[in-house]
Amino acid sequence: MLIVIADDLPASAIDLLRAEKGWTVDARPGRTADALAADLSGAEALIVRSRTKVDAPLLAAADRLRVVARAGTGVDNVDLDAASSRGIVVMNAPGANSISVAEHAIALMLAAARGIPRADASMKEGRWAKKGLVGAELRGKSLGIVGLGRIGQAVASRARVFGMSVLAHDPYIAEPVAQDLGVELLPLEELCARADYISLHLPSTAATRHLFDANRLARCKPGVTIVNTSRGDLIDEAALADAIERGHIGGAGLDVFEIEPPADGRLTRLPQVVATPHIAASTHEALELVGLETVTSVRDFLRDGIVRNAVNFPSVSAEEYRRLQPALRLAEALGSFVGQGFDPTREARTHAIGIRYYGALAEAPGDLLTSAILVGLFKRILASGISLVNARAVAAGRGVEVVESRSSRARDFTSLISVKLHTSAGERWVEGAVFEPGAPRLVLVDGVAVEAPLEGTLIVLANEDRPGVIGEVGTILGRHHVNIGTFALGRGPNGAIGVVSVDTPTGDVDDEVIREIRQGAAVRSAVIVKI
């Protein structure tokens, strides 16, 4: 059996594989793409870090490849669709570098608070600049953590040791989990207004890009220090530099940047900024742990068929997986819909999700369908960290209760999935079915029958059932050059529900459109849902 290791791994990790009888390990970092493609002929496993790009052509050259393992968390450098289509399992090593990243976040806070880089630079220049280097203590300050996953939780526990009060924003963490950590959960706006330090621990997604833009930074507490060890595009760097130069933002500790290395040194040259070259996870301990966790998963998969830390592997046969594809698309779309169904200006912290299967789907593998619903629910905030394999573990780790049931009761559709999300802002209940030829359709929203496509960009309205609402919404969309694809309506005892599929020349609907729609006298709520 041939295993190819394309990037650097610790010797202890490589030796673990070489200890297996009959296994050949080709560990040679730095190969060109063509050379690697040639070396993958006959290989059953490929192990990479972030440097090697595992794209479709490379996978096509690997005629016997069974598994690709990424020694690290993110799998942005692996073409998951291409791997899945070829039946190749993709694994990662989540959490192995959490402590290193958390400690680096704390180090950046301390360095910024005490001006350590400036003090060190002055000493190296032979200056004793003591008077100009009065710092601040972390004790008694408030730390706001945006994203309370593994790393965020590790930062929280360390910050409390320094005597900091810890606030957090994460709609997908249940209150009991936060209470156990001694963390106060808050809406993002309130966290920004109260925190003396803000540490970011979010993935890079369309929803999180420039989450901290000029408007958000302006609403932060004056003098706040922002720390980012997560993803560079969470922050609008030009806006951050402006805010620091104006004196509204006190400083920043940055390990990640939108472009690496940064093309413009304006931000990193500011004396209030402590900058490091994306090294938060670069410790001897983290590299060792990541390497060992990765090769252990590969070894157990190749030797025993055990699947761990897979990001694309369903627990059904390939034939059954193909048969379930329409239902899986419906399940993921419903999860995505229900997770976006709340006004983003209100805090909607998820604590439970109820799922019910009707008809033929009551006999289908519920574990897989439920996982697909959870993938849809969490995908927008976790990017590459959620899959059919780990979706339930992610929900459990965030304190989200999953309740499933099946019913043989006759409904209007032969197969139906019902999903109800329970949050601190209320409930959202949706149902969907698969229409021919395999297209997922929405059939009910909050008890109101309404049939609409489950794809693309949707505007979901709740309004009073009275004349003029459709015309007013259509006028607003037309004024903003937003084209209406379909406009589905349903009427219930407490009002009407509308689901509008839309498209624009730019492919997006901005917040101004939704604000105008919400201002309509008869409109109770309006949200954008992107499937």
Catalytic pick from 175, 245, 260, 464? Answer: 260
Tell me, yes or no, if 464 is annotated catalytic. no
Listed residue (445, 441, 435, 429) closest to 490, CA to CA: 445
Closest among 385, 381, 386, 354 to 370, alpha carbons compared = 354
Nearest to 367 by CA among 415, 409, 305, 321: 321
* CA dihedral over 69, 70, 72, 78, signed as positive or negative: negative
User: Which residues neighbour 293 within 8 Å (Cβ) at sequence distance 6 or greater?
Assistant: 93, 96, 309
Could you confirm whether 278 is annotated as catalytic?
yes
Per the CB < 8 A criterion, the answer to whether 402 and 378 are in contact is no
Select which of 66, 278, 422, 480 is catalytic. Answer: 278
Residue 406 half-sphere exposure toward CB, CA atoms < 13 A: 13
Taking the CA atoms of the chain, what radius of gyration do you get in angstroms?
25
How far from each other are the two terminal CA atoms of the chain, in whole angstroms?
41
Contact indicator for 144, 170 with CB cutoff of 8 Å: no
Neighbours of 125 (CB within 10 A): 8
Look up 28 and say whether it is catalytic: no
- Are the CB atoms for 286 and 100 separated by under 8 Å? yes
Q: Are 261 and 227 in contact (CB under 8 A)?
A: no
Q: How far apart are CA 342 and CA 487, in angstroms?
A: 20
Q: Considering 169, 231, 356, 428, which one is annotated as catalytic? A: 231
Task: List residues with catalytic annotation.
Answer: 231, 260, 278
